[in-house]
Amino acid sequence: MNYQPPYTITSKIIHLIAQISENIGRLTVLDEIQDSLKLRKANRIRTIQGSLAIEGNTLSTEQITAILNGKPIIAPPKEIQEVRNAIKAYDAFQKWQPSLASDLLEAHQVLMAGLIDEVGQYRQGGVGVMSGGQVIHMAPPATQVPRLMSDLLQWLGESQEHPLIQSSIFHYEFEFIHPFADGNGRMGRLWQTLILSQWHPIFINIPVESLIYQNQRAYYDALQASTNQTDSAPFIEFILQMILDAISNSNMTAQVGDQDTAQANEYVSQLINKMQKGKEYSLVELMDLVRLSHRATFQKNYLNPAIESHLIERTVPDKPKSPKQKYRLIA
């Protein structure tokens, strides 16, 4: 192996790997005993929303759900196209091999179709990373990209590092090279998820991107710190912390679900069992079905959980508080 990315394995990295591995064990057991199909779908939606939001996409998880279910929404065509592409990419990504350039280029073509001209190919010109109107990183010249990516993919295929470290290093090096004219951020996050999912399939359903979006400034700071130090350790530490937080949140959700699912399911089941397929209901009409008069209690215990579980949808998803808002069962 000729190319060796510069990185240091710090004590914090080792500690985070141990914590992540312990939490994966807990989550795997919980996942096996629960019917988590709706949770997996919700996490996939959160993953797509988080990764695209980092790039400026403004669509909500509810709007993305509508697109996933083939429902029309009112939004900028470019943002709708980004979501459709991301859905296709995350649905197909398990067939790709992380160390194959052909699969990387195919994934980029799926993810960026209809958004830029240079899809499925490395960039032909220079590119920089901007922050606040300033160039904070000037990527290597386009003429160097094929060689740099070939070296990185060869290293990925031959490296014996732990997949948590390996995937984080790849993510940083990929962003440093910035091999594509556009879509580098979402591709880097997609590819790290792909690498991790081949180590443990539970990562297919862990919405790490959602937490990265919530910590977007720290994400870019970690990238910059690694570039300044010529060592990807700061970025590895940051990404591993995001992975740990995402897994811990999933553990907490599953554990709370164990305690509260019976009560929550009873409320939701009571509501949806009284609704007729194809019929649209106002909020008041839904409250009448379960004989409740307190709006906040109804929304908290019945309506919101049903919407979050993708059992009920709004007829005007773009405007949740619209006076014309109604609700219906999802077919």
| Structural domain contains residue 113 | yes
DSSP, residue by residue, 241-283: HHHHHHHHHHHHHHHHHHHHHHHHHHHHHHHHHHSPTT--B-H
| Structural domain contains residue 23 | no
The pLDDT tens digits of the residues spanning 256-312 come to 444 444 455 677 878 888 889 889 999 999 999 988 888 888 888 889 888 887 889
234 and 191 in a common domain: yes
Catalytic residue among 15, 108, 162, 178: 178
Long-range CB pairs of 26-29, under 8 A, 24+ apart, other chains included: 26/251, 27/202, 27/247, 27/250, 27/251, 27/254, 28/202
113 and 45 in a common domain: yes
Quick one: pLDDT at residue 302? 87
Asked if 310 is an active-site residue, the reply is no
Is-above-0.85 flag for pTM? no
What residue numbers does the annotated binding site for ATP cover?
A: 129-137, 182-189, 219-220, 228
288 and 184 in a common domain: no
Range of the domain at 231: 37-254
| Structural domain contains residue 20 | no
Instruction: Please give the mean pLDDT across all residues of the chain.
Output: 87
311 and 176 in a common domain: no
What percent of the chain is predicted at pLDDT more than 70?
Answer: 89
70 and 148 in a common domain: yes
206 and 133 in a common domain: yes
| Structural domain contains residue 25 | no
CATH number at residue 111: 1.10.3290.10
Instruction: Say how far apart CA 185 and CA 57 lie, in whole Å.
Output: 13
Domain boundary among 205, 220, 254: 254
118 and 189 in a common domain: yes
| Structural domain contains residue 86 | yes
DSSP category for residue 328? E
Sequence-ordered alpha helix ranges (H) in the chain: 11-33, 37-54, 61-68, 77-92, 101-112, 145-158, 163-177, 184-199, 208-214, 216-229, 233-274, 283-289, 295-298, 304-308
282 and 219 in a common domain: no
222 and 310 in a common domain: no
Domain boundary among 219, 254, 289: 254
Quick one: pLDDT at residue 194? 95
| Structural domain contains residue 62 | yes
Average pLDDT over residues 154-166: 96
Question: How many structural domains comprise the chain?
Answer: 2
301 and 186 in a common domain: no
pLDDT at 229 over 90: yes
148 and 57 in a common domain: yes
| Structural domain contains residue 28 | no
| Structural domain contains residue 97 | yes
pLDDT at 89 over 50: yes
Quick one: pLDDT at residue 331? 65
78 and 176 in a common domain: yes
